[in-house]
Amino acid sequence: MKRKSYKITSSMIFILLTAVMTGCNSSQTATNSQTAVQKEKEQPNILWIITDDQRPDSVSAYNRVMYGTNESPLGYVESPNIDKLAAEGTLFVNAFTNSPVCGPSRGSMLTGRYPFRNGHYAFELTHQNPDFVKPTVSQTIRDNGYQTSVFGKEDSYIFKWGPGQGFHDAGLFDYKVHFKHHLQANNKGDIFGEASYGEVDGSPVMNGYAENVVYADGRTRKYFLKRKGGELTEQDLAEREVTNQEFDILRAYTRTNTSLILAGENPQPADKTVDAYIVKEFVNYLDNANKAFKTSWGSDAKGANSNKPQYMQLGFHLPHTPVLPPKSIRDRFKTKSYNIPDYSAAETDKLPEQLQAIQQAGDISGMTYEEKQKVIQDYYAFCAHGDDLIGKAVEAFKEYSKNSGREYVIIYTIGDHGWHLGEQGIEAKFGPWAQSTANAAILVSSDKSLIPAGKVYKDLVEFVDFAPTVLSAAGVDTSTEQFDYLDGYNLFDVYSGKLPKRDYVLGEISVISGPRAYLHSERFRFSMRTRPFNNWATEEQLGKELDWALTTKAEKAEMTLYDLDNDPLEQNNLAYQNDYVQLAGWFRNKLGNIVLGDGRVEADWRKANAYHISNFAKGADDKVLNIPQELIPSIAGRK
């Protein structure tokens, strides 16, 4: 029998190979799909809580570790819910912000990059067009299967931008409730300021800054605090005085600000403050999982998708100004007496001009003793209001995680930066001092193998650490080359000792009086001017004179150096004293090389891709000090 012969053509080979490969790909696709589903089921829900302007000494758990008492060094505080949270996890008592003002601080937290590496030093409206920009935590975690949401204050100042289109929401989260745009704009608030706009030839024109008062019965009042190009009217002044009297308001009265509310009674009860509404929306989103619901202002919304792991940011506005604790809480604090921090004008005299400007912007030397007491009382009362709300939010999040069958991770950042209550003679932030920059954090996991309960970590950590910590909790391997841009450390590995301890923390800011960077170590706190101009960098200034702070006369670098061994309250600037001049020069070189020459980014955010990256000292940020011993003045009793 003659066998048939077949000619194998190239098209037949292609068809055979395609069939084989399709089968393999189908099998691989099925395997990958199963792996993805399994990974998604194992990913915990993540809640990141951030308060605004909150001092860590408003938390008793922190005070017990640092001072051996429930009270702040200034006096009485209340924080039972935060104390409970700390007992469930690990308290990081030396967590430093990378910028002492909300915009760049939150920008650093959300990107995991220092201000000098993301080009965000102040309140610049940044965007994601430039080549050097990397995704935010919320974008990366969304790409890894999470549903993302933010409630309250996010304000990282990262926007979507296009020529002629201006700045718009960048869509960094799947679901968003903003305290201004959604709550205050719909009279879900108390007393708040806002820009006021008119219209000229059909175009919006800002005509001043107004203050709104929302009463418990729904009534509202509005009047100007500032009018563009003109004096306030008698009615404006009369209306403001009505508010002052009705709600026992104390306003700042420095040369630069006379409207900032530093103390007063909230016109709303505790369950209807703007922060209470932030939590209400957070809880509604969880309680209405997979269902449609109405927001507090009547909009249609849909609750969390329980089939996906949740990444949620809860951003409180409190205890930021206006400081307005509700009456039910405020009354408990009005009877407390507080220690008012010591301050002498001689402290300011020793400061360089740049820091004198910051001090004067928040100066309280004109306040009476009673007014200073009132400011401290109301600040800590407002923090206590936050404690109540945090307790409600945490319990709702835990219950949701239990019902959806997931583990959970909670990160609580105690303040996006700090706040002075008389230290350095100010009621403000903005400075390189500890009260502006030294914060704390709590890290909790339902899986105690990830982070233990009831522990304290005392070594230095930074706010850029939160980004890799969140991503790691979600199962993202941040040790790969893809994430080399992250400046921070995963706090799970920091606590376990898998990563080395750092000798210092870093930060930079450019508000009020120009760019200034700081380096804090266990014993020393150092800061210096980084650029010779006060404005935000323009395209013409990018990359110019970047070594100025290293080569100019020492006086022009406007340095401060504090030796905490004998000056823990940072009252005596030593940078230009004989015993410390050489040490100050050493710190100047160390910090200057890091922030100016190790990946420094300056961008003109008015353009799509206008920036400069400086690397004349690449690798300077080695996290090690190794100060030559001969430069360190000896102090009796210290080895």
Which pLDDT tens digit goes with each residue over 135-164? 999 999 999 999 999 999 999 999 999 888
Residue 580 gets which letter from DSSP? G
| 350 in Cβ contact with 573 (< 8 Å) | yes
- Six-digit token pair at 262? 């530093």
Per-residue model confidence as pLDDT tens digits over 539-597: 889 989 999 999 999 999 999 999 999 999 999 999 999 999 999 999 999 999 999 99
Alpha-carbon dihedral sign for residues 398, 404, 407, 412: negative
Which pLDDT score is estimated for 23? Answer: 43
Which pLDDT score is estimated for 204? Answer: 77
306 in helix, strand or coil?
A: coil
Which pLDDT score is estimated for 256? Answer: 66
Which pLDDT score is estimated for 259? Answer: 87
Per-residue model confidence as pLDDT tens digits over 152-198: 999 999 999 988 888 999 999 999 999 999 999 999 999 999 998 87
Which pLDDT score is estimated for 165? Answer: 84
- Beta-bridge partners for 250: 263
Q: Which part of the chain has CATH 3.40.720.10?
A: 43-186+271-339+369-496
Which pLDDT score is estimated for 198? Answer: 78
Tokens 């233990």 correspond to 452
Residue 339 clears pLDDT 70, i.e. is over it: yes
| Average pLDDT score over the chain | 92
C-alpha span between 194 and 213 (Å, rounded): 11
Percentage of the chain exceeding pLDDT 70? 92
Which pLDDT score is estimated for 2? Answer: 32
CATH architecture classification, 43-186+271-339+369-496? 3-Layer(aba) Sandwich (3.40)
Which pLDDT score is estimated for 41? Answer: 59
Which pLDDT score is estimated for 630? Answer: 94
**At CA 488, angle to CA 486 and CA 489, rounded to 5?**
115
Per-residue model confidence as pLDDT tens digits over 208-227: 999 999 999 999 999 999 99
The CA distances from residue 403 to 121, 175, 306, 408, 443, in Å, are 42, 21, 9, 12, 22
- What is the pLDDT confidence band of residue 39, given thresholds at 50, 70 and 90? low
C-alpha span between 46 and 148 (Å, rounded): 10
Residue 26 clears pLDDT 70, i.e. is over it: no
C-alpha span between 184 and 210 (Å, rounded): 13
Pairwise pLDDT comparison (113 vs 230), residue with the higher score: 113
Which residues, 6+ apart, have CB-to-CB distance to 450 below 8 Å? 409, 473, 492
Per this entry, what is the length of the chain? 639
Which pLDDT score is estimated for 40? Answer: 56
C-alpha span between 59 and 556 (Å, rounded): 39
Which pLDDT score is estimated for 10? Answer: 34
Alpha helices in 119-254 (DSSP H): 137-143, 234-246
Residue 623 clears pLDDT 50, i.e. is over it: yes
Q: What is the mean pLDDT of residues 66-90?
A: 98
Alpha-carbon dihedral sign for residues 276, 112, 100, 170: negative
DSSP letters of 526-559? EEEE-SS-SSPPPTTTTTSSTTHHHHS-GGGGT-
Which is it for strands 90-96 and 455-457: parallel, antiparallel or unpaired? parallel
Pairwise pLDDT comparison (483 vs 637), residue with the higher score: 483
Which pLDDT score is estimated for 635? Answer: 56
- What is the pLDDT confidence band of residue 9, given thresholds at 50, 70 and 90? very low
Per-residue model confidence as pLDDT tens digits over 384-409: 999 999 999 999 999 999 999 999 99
Phi-psi region of 145 (alpha: psi -120 to 50; beta: other; left: phi over 0): left
Residue 15 clears pLDDT 60, i.e. is over it: no
Q: What is the mean pLDDT of residues 330-350?
A: 96
